[in-house]
A and B are shown apart, each in its own frame.
Chain A
Amino acid sequence: MVTGDHQTLALVLFSAFVAVTLGITTWVSRNRHGSAEEFYAGGRLFSPMENGFAIAGDYMSAASFLGISGLIALYGYDGMLYSVGFLVAWLVVLLLVAELVRNCGRFTLADVVAARMAERPVRIAAGTSSVAVSVLYLVAQMVGAGSLVALLLGGTGEAARTWTVIGVGALMVIYVSLGGMRATTWIQIVKAVLLMAGTIALTVLVLIRFHGDVNSLLSTAAERSGHGTAFLGPGLRYGGDWTARLDFISLGLALVLGTAGLPHILSRFYTVPTARAARRSVVWSIGLIGGFYLMTIVLGFGAAALIGSAEVRASNASGNTAVPLLALDLGGGAGSTGGTVLFAVVAAVAFATILAVVAGITLASSASVAHDLYASLRRPGRKGYGEVAVARVAAAVIGAVAIGLGLLASDLNVAFLVGLAFAVAASANLPVLLYSLFWRRFTTRGAVWSVYGGLVPAVLLVLLSPVVSGSPEALFPGLDLQVFPLQNPGLVSIPLGFLAGWLGTVTSPEPPDEARHAETEVRALTGAGAA
C-alpha cells in the first residue's frame, strides 16, 4: 500500500508542521520573562476559544484517530464504546472540576489539595501520582509514534522506529523547555485545527460516497464486515466470558473517571484568566471532541463498508491502518494523485497529533516535578535553583526517560497503556481532588491515604494481572505471578482510592481545619484571591 510518493509527501507535510511549530516556539518565547506564571500557565491570558482548541488538541491522541476508527472497522459497534466513554468523561470535568480547580490552584493538582492541608506530605503524594500518570501516558504516546512510523512510512525496520522515538522525544523537549506553556498551547491549537480539518474532509467524502444515506452506509458496512447485522450491535470484541465483560466495565469506569485526574488536562485550566473562561473553554472542547468522536464513528464504519474488515485486518491486525487505507480509497485509489495526497495528509496529521499530546504531558509532568516534588523535597535553608530552571531540566530528563521506556516497551499494546494511565489517574488523583473540593471533614491523613490508596493498588493489580505474566501474550510469558484476572485495575482500584481517603479521614487524630476549608470553598466558588 505504501509507495515512495506517499512517503515523500507525508514527510514534506510533516516537516512543514515541525518548521511551523518550531517557528511558533521561537516567536512566542522572543521576549518571555521566565517567570513561573509564564512557563507553566502561558501568562494566563488565553481566550476560552483558544484554550478550548488547545484542550481538544491535548486530548485527542493518535490512538483515538487511528485506533478507534480501526476498532470500529474490525469489530463494529464495540469500537464505539470507547468514543462514548472518552466524551462523557468531560461532563465530570465540566461540572465538578474545571472552574473550582481554576479558582483554587496555581499550576498543578497538588496546589488545590495543599491549599487546605499540611503542605509537604500532600504535595509529595499528589506530585508523585501526577508524575506516574504522566510517564505512563507518555510511554504510550512514544510507543504509538514508533509503530505509526513503521506503519505509515513502511519503514518497518527497527532503525526507523528507534529514530522516530528519539526524534519525537527531542522535539518535544525543545518545544517545552524553550517555549513553555505558550508554545505548547499554540502547537496544540494548530494540531487541533489540522486534525479537525482532516477528519471533516474524510467524513464528508465518506458521506458523499453514500449520497448522505447513513442507513446504506451501515448496511454496507455490516455486509462487508463478514459478521452481518451482529456488526452493528455490541459483543464482537467484549462479548466473551464474564472476565472479558467485567474487564470492559472496568475500562469504561476508568475512561469516564480518569480524564478529570489527568495532570496535563488540569494544567490547561490555569491558562485562562477566570473560572468563567475555564468553563467556556471546556464547553468549546466538548463541542470539538464530541464532533470528532462522532466523525471517527463514520470513518470506522466507512472503512468497513468501502475497504472491508478482512482487508483492514490484513494490513494491520489491530486495525490501525483503517483510516489511511480509507483515505487512499476516497482519494481515488492507490497510485492516483488524490489518494496520494489524502494518505500523506492523514499520516502528517497523525504525527502532528502525537507531537502535540506529548508536549502537553511533558510540560505538565515537569511542572509536577519542579513545583511539587522539588519544592517540597529540597532541604530547607539551602539555596536552591529557580523553579523554572528546574522545570526546564525536568522536561529534558522526563523526555529522556520517556524515550528510553518507549524504546524498551515498543511491543506493548498502546491502548492498554492508555487505559492503565486513565485507571491510575482515576484511582489516585480523582478521589483526593473531589474530597478536597467537596468534603468539609477531609484531613491531611485522608488526602495522603487516598492518593497512595489508589496509586499502590492500581500499580500492584497490574503487576499481578494477565498483562504482566501468566498468559501467552503477557510481558513475561515465562513467569506466573497472575492472581488478578482483569487487565484494567479500575473496577477495584478506583473504589479503593475513595475508600482509603474516607478511612484516613475518619481515623485522623487531628480535626479538619475549619478556617482553611472555608477559604478553599469560598475561593473555589467565587474566585476570590484566585491566581
Chain B
Amino acid sequence: MDQLDEQERAGARDDGPGGRGTELPRPRHDGAAQPLPGAAGIYLEVQRSPAFQEVRRRYRRFVFPATLAFLAWYLAYVVAATAAPGLMARPVAGAVNVAMVAGLGQFLTTFVLTWAYARHARLRRDRAALELRWDTQQMTRGAGQW
C-alpha cells in the first residue's frame, strides 16, 4: 500500500509544468474568461475521438445502472421498513428477522459494489484515461494554452 501511495505522489510530481502548481497563468480561474479558440477546439476534438467515447461509455455503462440499482434497493428498504413492518418482523433464524437480514444486506451490497467499482475503474478505465490525459495535455500545450 505504501509503495502504491509513493507512486501516486510521484505520478503527481511528474506532471511537470502545467500539470500542477499555482504559479503558471490559468486563464479560467483568474477571471479572464474564455479559453483560446485553439484549446477549445482541442477539447472538442478529444471529446469526439473514439478513444474518449470508449472511456466515457465504459464509465457510464457501469455507473448509471449501478446507481439506479442501489438507489432502488435502498428506497425499497426504507419504504418496506416504514410501510410493511409486519413483513420485516418475520423471523428467519433464531432472533434474526427479515429486517435484520435486509439491513445487513445493505451493508454487504455497499461493500461489494465499492469493490466492484474500484476494480472496474482500475482494470477498464484508468490506463485509457491516463493516455488521453497525456495526449490532451500535449495538444493544449502545443496550442499555447499553458
List the interface of chain A (C-beta within 8 A of B): 35-37, 44-45, 47-49, 77-78, 80-81, 83-85, 87-88, 90-92, 94-96, 99, 106, 111, 115, 119, 215, 218-219, 222, 229-230, 232-235, 238-239, 245, 248-249, 252-253, 256, 272-274, 276-277, 279-280, 283, 286-287, 290, 293-294, 375, 514-516, 518-519, 521-523, 525-531
Contacts of A85 in B (CB 8 A): 74, 78
- 26 A-B pairs within 8 Å (CB atoms) are namely A37-B22, A77-B100, A90-B110, A115-B28, A215-B95, A229-B89, A233-B89, A234-B85, A234-B88, A274-B8, A276-B8, A283-B114, A283-B118, A287-B114, A290-B107, A290-B111, A515-B40, A519-B39, A519-B43, A522-B46, A522-B52, A523-B43, A525-B56, A526-B130, A528-B133, A529-B18
Main secondary structure of the interface of A (DSSP, over half): helix
B19 to chain A, nearest CB (A): 8
Does B123 belong to the interface (CB within 8 Å)?
Answer: no
Establish whether residues A239 and B82, one from each chain, have CB atoms under 8 Å apart when the complex forms.
Answer: yes
Nearest B residue to A283 via CB reads B118
Establish whether residues A48 and B8, one from each chain, have CB atoms under 8 Å apart when the complex forms.
Answer: yes
Contacts of B11 in A (CB 8 A): 273-274
Contacts of A249 in B (CB 8 A): 78-79, 82
A4 to chain B, nearest CB (A): 40
Does B61 belong to the interface (CB within 8 Å)?
Answer: no
Indicate which residue in B43, B118, B129, B133 contacts A518 across the interface (CB closer than 8 Å): B43
Establish whether residues A215 and B94, one from each chain, have CB atoms under 8 Å apart when the complex forms.
Answer: yes
Measured CA separation A47–B7 after assembly (Å): 10
Establish whether residues A245 and B133, one from each chain, have CB atoms under 8 Å apart when the complex forms.
Answer: no
A234 to chain B, nearest CB (A): 4
Establish whether residues B85 and A256, one from each chain, have CB atoms under 8 Å apart when the complex forms.
Answer: no
B115 to chain A, nearest CB (A): 8
Establish whether residues B97 and A232, one from each chain, have CB atoms under 8 Å apart when the complex forms.
Answer: yes
* A273-B8 in contact given A218-B96, A280-B118, A286-B114 (Cβ < 8 Å): yes
Total number of residue pairs linking A and B with CB closer than 8 Å = 202
Mask, B58-101, CB within 8 Å of A = 1, is: 01000100110011001101110111010011010011110110
* A522-B140 in contact given A91-B110, A215-B94 (Cβ < 8 Å): no
Contacts of B103 in A (CB 8 A): 77, 80-81, 83-84
Measured CA separation A514–B107 after assembly (Å): 41
Measured CA separation A235–B140 after assembly (Å): 59
Contacts of A277 in B (CB 8 A): 8
Nearest A residue to B90 via CB reads A233
Establish whether residues A106 and B29, one from each chain, have CB atoms under 8 Å apart when the complex forms.
Answer: yes
Establish whether residues A44 and B20, one from each chain, have CB atoms under 8 Å apart when the complex forms.
Answer: yes
Nearest B residue to A116 via CB reads B28
Measured CA separation A105–B110 after assembly (Å): 27
Measured CA separation A90–B118 after assembly (Å): 13
Contacts of B50 in A (CB 8 A): none
Indicate which residue in B78, B81, B100, B132 contacts A528 across the interface (CB closer than 8 Å): B132
- Of B18, B81, B130, chain A has the most CB atoms within 10 Å of the CB of B81
Establish whether residues B95 and A222, one from each chain, have CB atoms under 8 Å apart when the complex forms.
Answer: yes
Establish whether residues B12 and A531, one from each chain, have CB atoms under 8 Å apart when the complex forms.
Answer: no
A431 to chain B, nearest CB (A): 15
Measured CA separation A527–B121 after assembly (Å): 14
Contacts of A294 in B (CB 8 A): 107
Establish whether residues A87 and B107, one from each chain, have CB atoms under 8 Å apart when the complex forms.
Answer: yes
Establish whether residues B106 and A273, one from each chain, have CB atoms under 8 Å apart when the complex forms.
Answer: no
